[in-house]
Structure 1
Amino acid sequence: MIDYKGYQNKKVLVVGLAKSGVAASLLLHRLGAFVTVNDWKPLSENKDAQQLLDQGIKVITGSHPVELLDEGFELIVKNPGIPYSNPLIKGAIAKGLPVLTEVELAYQISEADIIGVTGTNGKTTTTTLIHEMITKDQKKSYAAGNIGTVACEVAQIAKPDEAMVIELSSFQLMGIRQFAPSISIITNIYDAHLDYHSSKEEYVEAKAAITKNQTADDYLIVNADQEDLMAAVSHTKAKIVPFSTKRFLQDGISSDGDKIYMNGEAVVAIREIVLPGRHNLENIMAAIGAARLYGVSDDSIRKVLGEFSGVKHRTQFVREWKDIKFYNDSKATNILATQSALDAFTVPTILLCGGLDRGNSFDELSDSMSHVKTAIVFGETAEKMADAAKNAGVTDIIRVKDVNEAVTAAAEVAASGDVVLLSPACASWDQYPTFEVRGDIFIEAVNKLK
C-alpha cells in the first residue's frame, strides 16, 4: 500500500455504507482524514454504523440531511448505489465538491497492477477468468470490486508484483478522477440501468470512463462488434486491442470457428473450452487478451478454459433431479442477459423470471423463447413477463409469489430432459436485497427437492 498523504487532516463525508462505505470509511480514517459517515438506516438497526462509531468515526444516521454540507467537507465518497439525484449528492455537486467512489481510493493507494473490467454483461465471468488465468500461471492475483471484495480493501494488501482484477459498474466509474488501469476491458454496451442514468448516452459515457485517464503505455480491450462503443472510446490514448465474435481480426482477438486467435496466433481450440454459450465467447476473448498482455502463458490460459464452467449466479449448474437440470442465472438483471442464457439451451426449458419494474417491456425476449414450455413469473414485473411469454407463444404461464414458490411450481411441471432456468431479466430489489440473495434462495430450494 502506498503511503498516500492526500487525505491527511481533510474533512471527508462518506455517504452510504454497506461493504464499500465501511471499507472507504476505515481506509480514510487510517489515512488521517476527519471522517463523517452518513447512512439512511437508523443507528439501532445499523451494525455497520455501530462498528465505525466504535472506531472513533463520527456517524449520522436515519436520513441524508442536506444541512450536512454546511460543515465544510472537502470531498464526498459515495456508495455507488446512491443515485446522483439524491438531494445531498446534488447539493455537493452544486457546491463544486468532488464526489468519488471507493475505487478511486483503491487506485490512489494501490501498488499492484490494475486490470479493470466493465460492460453491461459478462463482467463477472471475464473478471473471474482473468484472475484464474493469472493464478494458474503461478502469479498472485486478487479479484475485487463489484465482484464482491471491496477494491480499496484489496489495495491495502496487494503488492507491486501482484495484480488486482477489478469488476467495475457504471455507478463506480462515475465517481473516478484519476483512476487508470494498465489494462481496461469493455465487454459490451446495451440498454441497462436507465432508472439510474438519465439516458443511454450518460450510461455509455460512464462505461467509457474506464479509459479516460489511460495513457499510451496502457491497453484498452474493447468489443469491435459494437459501433457505438467503438465511437465512445475513440478518444482514448491507450492502445486499442479489439475483439470480435463476428469476423476474423488479424490485429486483435477473434475466431475462425475452430480456434481463438490473438494477433494472428492461435491460442486455444474452441473444442477445448468448457464454458457453454455463444455469449461467453466475448468474455473468453476479452480474458485471453488481458491475460496475454499481462504475460500469462498460452498453456495456463488453455488449462483454465478447459476447467472453468462458470461463476455463481451466472448460468450456474445447481443440480440434476429426476433427469431435470436446474440452472441459477440470478445475475441476469437485464433482458439481454436472459436472452443469452436462453440461447445457451435448446431443450424444453422452464423459465423462472420477474423482479423489479424499471419500466421495460420484455417483448425482446420473444425470439429466444421458442423452446420455453412454461414461464413461471413473479415480482413487480410478473404480468409484463406473462404478456411477453404469451406473445412469444408460450401457452403454460404460472404466476407465483416468489422464487421459493417458483421452484416448487417448476418441479411439478418439469419432465425428464427439461431445463429449469432462473434468469429473471430484472433486478432483485422488489423482493430481495441483492441478486446473490435471490440466487442463494433458488439454490437452497432446489437442493431441498426430494
Structure 2
Amino acid sequence: MKDVNQFKGMKVLVLGLAKSGYAAAHLLRSLGAVVTVNDAKPEEGNAEAASLKEEGIRVICGGHPEGILDEGYKLIVKNPGIPYSNPVVVDAVQKGISVWTEIELTYRISEAPIIGITGSNGKTTTTTLLYHMLNIAKKQPLIAGNIGTVSCTVGEKAKNDNIIVLEASSFQLMGIDSFRPRIAIWTNLYDSHLDYHGSSEGYAEAKAGITKNQTVDDYFIYNFDQPELRAYAERSAAIKIPFSLFGRTEKGISADDEQIYWDGVPYVSRSIIKLPGQHNLENILAATAAAILCGCDKSSIENVLISFTGVRHRMQFVKELKGRKFYNDSKATNTLATKSALAAFSMPTVLLAGGLDRGHSFEELRPHMGNVKAVIALGETAERFSEFVKSCGITEVFCATDMRDAVRESYSHTEPGDIILLSPSCASWDQYTNFEARGDAFIDSVMSL
C-alpha cells in the first residue's frame, strides 16, 4: 500500500455497510481517518455494525439522522447501491463534500496498476478470462470488485509487481474523482439501471468514467462495433485499442470466421476457442488485447482459450450426457441476455425460461427462436412465456413445477447432439433468492439425472 497521509485526521462518513462499506471503514481507520458509519438497517442483527463497534468505530444505525452532515465531514464513501437521490448524498453534494465509492480509495492507495473493466454485459466473463491469462503468464494478478474481494481490500494488500483486475459497475464509476486505470475496457453499452441513473445518457456517462481520467500513457480497449462507444473513445486521451467482430482490421484486435487478428496480423485460430457465442467472442477479444498489452506470452493466452468454458451461471457448460450438452445461463435475467445465448448455438435447443413476472415483453426473442425445438417454462411467467413460444410456432411447450421437473422434462425432448439451455430471460426472485441459487438448482438437477 502507498504511504497515504491525506486521510490522517480527516473526518469521513461511510454511508451504508454491506461488504464495501465494512471494508472502507476498516481501511480508512487504518489510514488515520476519524470514521463514522451510518447504515439504514437497524442495529439489531446487523453483524457488520456490531463488529465495527467492537473495534471502536462509531456506528449509527436505523436511518440517517437529521443534520448528520453538520459534524464537519470532509468526505463521504458510500455503498454503490445507495442512489444519488438519497437525502444525505444530495445534501453532501450541495455542501461541496466529496462523495466517493470505494474504487476511488483503491486507486488512491494501491501500489499496483489497475485494469478496469466495465460494460452492460460481459464484464465478469472478460474479467475472469483476463485474470486466468495473466495468472498463467505469471503476472501476479489480483481479482477485485463485483466479481471478487472488495477492491479497496485488494488495493491495501497489492504490491507494485501485482496487477489488479477490477470489475467496475456504473454505480461504482459514478463515485470517482481521480480513479485512473492503466488499461480500461468497455465491453458494450445497452440500456440498464435507468431507475438509478435516470436516463440512458446518465447511465452511459457513468460508464464513461472508466476512461475519463486516462492519459496518453494509458490504454482504452473498446467495442468498435458500437457507434456510441466509438464516440466515447474519441473523448478519451488514452491510446485506443478497438475490438471488432466484423473481419480483420489494421488496428487493435479483430476476428473473422477463422482467425483472431492483432493489428491485422493473424494471432490465434478461432477453432481452439471453447466458449460459445458471438457475445463471448467480444469478451475474448477484449481480454486478449489487455493480456497482450500486459506482456502475456501467446501460449498463456491460448491455454485459457482452449480450456475456459464459462463463468458460473453465465453460459456455463455443465455436463454432456449421452450426447446432450447442458448450459447454465441463469444470469440471463432479461431478453437481451437470452437472445445472445440462443444465438450462440446452431444445434437444436431445448430452452428453460421464465421467472419473476415484471410484465416485460418477450418479443425481442422471436427472431432467435428458430433452433428452439421445445420450451420448458418456469415460475410466475410460465403461462405468459408459453403463449409467446406457441405464437412462434413451437408446439413442444411444457410448464414445470420446479427445476428438477424442468430438467427431467427437457431431457425427455432431446436426442444426441441437442443443447439444453437454462436462460430464463427473467429475474429469479419468484422462486429463488438470487440467480446463483437458481443456477445451482439447475446444476444439481442435471447432476442427478
Any conservation in 1 of the 2:351–2:374 contact (CA below 8 Å)? yes
CA deviations 1:41-81 (Å, max 9, x no partner) are 32222222222222222222233445433333222212122
- Cα separation, partners in 2 of 1:137 and 1:254, compared to 1, 3 Å: same
Cα offset, 1:173, TM superposition: 0.8
Any conservation in 1 of the 2:248–2:264 contact (CA below 8 Å)? no
CA deviations 1:175-203 (Å, max 9, x no partner) are 11111101101111112222322111111
Superposition TM-score, scaled by structure 1 size = 0.91
- 412-421 vs 329-338, greater mean Cα deviation: 412-421
Any conservation in 2 of the 1:146–1:168 contact (CA below 8 Å)? yes
> Where do 1:332-347 residues align within 5 Å?
332-347=332-347
Partner of 1:124: 124
Between the aligned partners of 1:399 and 1:63, the Cα distance in structure 2 is 43
Partner of 2:315: 315
- Please tell me whether residue 366 in structure 1 is matched to residue 366 in structure 2: yes
- Please tell me whether residue 424 in structure 1 is matched to residue 444 in structure 2: no
Any conservation in 1 of the 2:104–2:178 contact (CA below 8 Å)? yes
CA deviations 1:232-273 (Å, max 9, x no partner) are 232111011111101321011112432211112322111122
Give the secondary-structure state (helix, strand or coil) at the position aligned to 1:12. strand
- Cα separation, partners in 2 of 1:93 and 1:442, compared to 1, 3 Å: farther
Give, as a single letter, the amino acid of the residue that structure 2 aligns with 1:307. Answer: S
- Please tell me whether residue 278 in structure 1 is matched to residue 309 in structure 2: no
- Cα separation, partners in 2 of 1:9 and 1:251, compared to 1, 3 Å: same
Between the aligned partners of 2:25 and 2:156, the Cα distance in structure 1 is 14
- Cα separation, partners in 2 of 1:368 and 1:79, compared to 1, 3 Å: same
Cα offset, 1:321, TM superposition: 4.6
Give the secondary-structure state (helix, strand or coil) at the position aligned to 2:338. helix
Cα offset, 1:99, TM superposition: 1.8
Between the aligned partners of 1:446 and 1:68, the Cα distance in structure 2 is 52
Unaligned 5+ segments in structure 2 are none
CA deviations 1:143-166 (Å, max 9, x no partner) are 211112211111111110110111
- Cα separation, partners in 2 of 1:421 and 1:87, compared to 1, 3 Å: farther
Give, as a single letter, the amino acid of the residue that structure 2 aligns with 1:309. Answer: T
Partner of 2:39: 39
- Cα separation, partners in 2 of 1:389 and 1:70, compared to 1, 3 Å: farther
Partner of 1:12: 12
Between the aligned partners of 1:7 and 1:402, the Cα distance in structure 2 is 52
- Cα separation, partners in 2 of 1:85 and 1:345, compared to 1, 3 Å: same
Cα offset, 1:170, TM superposition: 1.0
Any conservation in 1 of the 2:242–2:253 contact (CA below 8 Å)? yes
- 241-250 vs 412-421, greater mean Cα deviation: 412-421
Give, as a single letter, the amino acid of the residue that structure 1 aligns with 2:344. Answer: A
Give the secondary-structure state (helix, strand or coil) at the position aligned to 1:73. coil
Between the aligned partners of 1:394 and 1:95, the Cα distance in structure 2 is 59
Give, as a single letter, the amino acid of the residue that structure 2 aligns with 1:193. Answer: H
- Cα separation, partners in 2 of 1:268 and 1:357, compared to 1, 3 Å: same
- Cα separation, partners in 2 of 1:13 and 1:297, compared to 1, 3 Å: same
Partner of 2:292: 292
Give, as a single letter, the amino acid of the residue that structure 1 aligns with 2:30. Answer: R
Partner of 2:100: 100
> Where do 1:51-200 residues align within 5 Å?
51-65=51-65, 67-200=67-200
Any conservation in 1 of the 2:13–2:73 contact (CA below 8 Å)? yes
CA deviations 1:383-413 (Å, max 9, x no partner) are 6544543443334444557656644654566
Give, as a single letter, the amino acid of the residue that structure 1 aligns with 2:129. Answer: L
Q: Percent of aligned pairs with the same residue?
A: 56
Any conservation in 2 of the 1:17–1:79 contact (CA below 8 Å)? yes
CA deviations 1:279-338 (Å, max 9, x no partner) are 211111111110111111122212221222221111112234565433211222332221
Partner of 1:2: 2
Cα offset, 1:373, TM superposition: 3.4
Partner of 1:304: 304
Any conservation in 2 of the 1:260–1:267 contact (CA below 8 Å)? yes
Cα offset, 1:370, TM superposition: 2.1
Any conservation in 2 of the 1:365–1:388 contact (CA below 8 Å)? no
- 440-449 vs 361-370, greater mean Cα deviation: 440-449
Between the aligned partners of 1:339 and 1:232, the Cα distance in structure 2 is 26
Superposition TM-score, scaled by structure 2 size = 0.92
Give, as a single letter, the amino acid of the residue that structure 2 aligns with 1:363. Answer: E
- 331-340 vs 235-244, greater mean Cα deviation: 331-340
Unaligned 5+ segments in structure 1 are none
Between the aligned partners of 2:222 and 2:408, the Cα distance in structure 1 is 42
Any conservation in 1 of the 2:324–2:414 contact (CA below 8 Å)? yes
Cα offset, 1:427, TM superposition: 4.1
Cα offset, 1:224, TM superposition: 0.6
Partner of 1:215: 215
Any conservation in 2 of the 1:204–1:232 contact (CA below 8 Å)? no
- Cα separation, partners in 2 of 1:171 and 1:427, compared to 1, 3 Å: farther
Give, as a single letter, the amino acid of the residue that structure 2 aligns with 1:4. Answer: V
- Cα separation, partners in 2 of 1:191 and 1:412, compared to 1, 3 Å: same
- Cα separation, partners in 2 of 1:406 and 1:39, compared to 1, 3 Å: farther
- 287-296 vs 265-274, greater mean Cα deviation: 265-274
**Aligned Cα root-mean-square deviation (Å):** 2.4
